[in-house]
Homo-oligomer: A and B are copies of this chain.
Amino acid sequence: MSTSMPESLAAGTRRVARPAPLRQAVYDTLAEMIASGSLKPGQHLVESELAEHLGVSRQPIREALQRLAVDGWVELRPAYGAYVHVPTTEEVAQLLGVRSVLEAYSAREAAQHATAERIARLRQLYDAGLAALAADDEATLVTANADFHRYIVQISGNRVLLELISQVERRVRWYYTPIARPRGTEAWNEHETLIGAIGDGDADLAERLMRAHTERTTEFYRREFVPAHQAPAG
């Protein structure tokens, strides 16, 4: 592992996007097209058409489609084709429920691994979101929110958790964007108290706050998008 590389360079372990992984670019492009609605739910995706459209061969398209299927963006019918996933309100509720549980756990673990430096960084992310909120910049706000939560997971040090939450988060974001701004003000206030709890190393409080935070978001979503007569029993 020891190289003659200057320390200043060795610090950056994250390699920038080499020209290499074309399937990754295809994946990102298609996911973006689905999330933005330019590929509509239920639409039949034909490999050859996508290939021509994106100017690549069918091979990277296939590989991207299979990962998209794993991540819940499309459904693959064995010998017949790929269809853009059709989201349901029930599914969103389930996603948000799972997310809530995972995030609460991440807050608990983060509180147990807090350092002054990490809290400072977390506060930076918090400020960035606050700025986006003030500027009424919805896209940035959604990103800032994701960054904030992701960093808490990183503080927790649980890589498995990071993977899982990332998966859920990507799918949630698809539906979530429209409520980002109206929920924004309240949400960022809650973030502030959360930082305090994590900084104090109060795991129980951090967990409770995060749970309340995400459940409030879920509730907000329900009120906004689920008609009363669809509300599940419980």
Q: Which A positions have Cβ atoms within 8 angstroms of B? A: 18, 20-21, 62-63, 66-67, 70, 72, 78-79, 91, 94-95, 97-98, 101-102, 104-105, 109, 112, 158-161, 163-164, 167-168, 234
22 contacts between A and B (CB under 8 A): A20-B78, A20-B79, A21-B78, A63-B66, A66-B66, A66-B67, A67-B70, A72-B163, A91-B159, A91-B160, A94-B158, A94-B159, A97-B105, A97-B109, A98-B105, A98-B160, A98-B164, A101-B102, A101-B104, A101-B105, A102-B102, A164-B168
Chain B residue contacts of A104, Cβ below 8 A: 101
- A234 engages B112 (CB within 8 Å): yes
Chain A interface secondary structure, helix, strand, loop or mixed?
helix
Chain B residue contacts of A94, Cβ below 8 A: 158-161
Residue of B nearest to A15 (CB): B78
Please give the distance in Å from A38's CB to the nearest CB on chain B.
Answer: 25
- B168 engages A98 (CB within 8 Å): no
**Chain A to chain B: the 7 pairs with minimum beta-carbon distance, closest first:** A94-B160, A101-B105, A94-B158, A98-B160, A95-B160, A98-B161, A20-B78
Please give the distance in Å from A198's CB to the nearest CB on chain B.
Answer: 15
Chain B residue contacts of A72, Cβ below 8 A: 163
Q: How far is A161 from B95 in the complex, measured between Cα atoms in Å?
A: 8
- A97 engages B158 (CB within 8 Å): yes
Interface centre among A18, A94, A167 (most CB of B within 10 A): A94
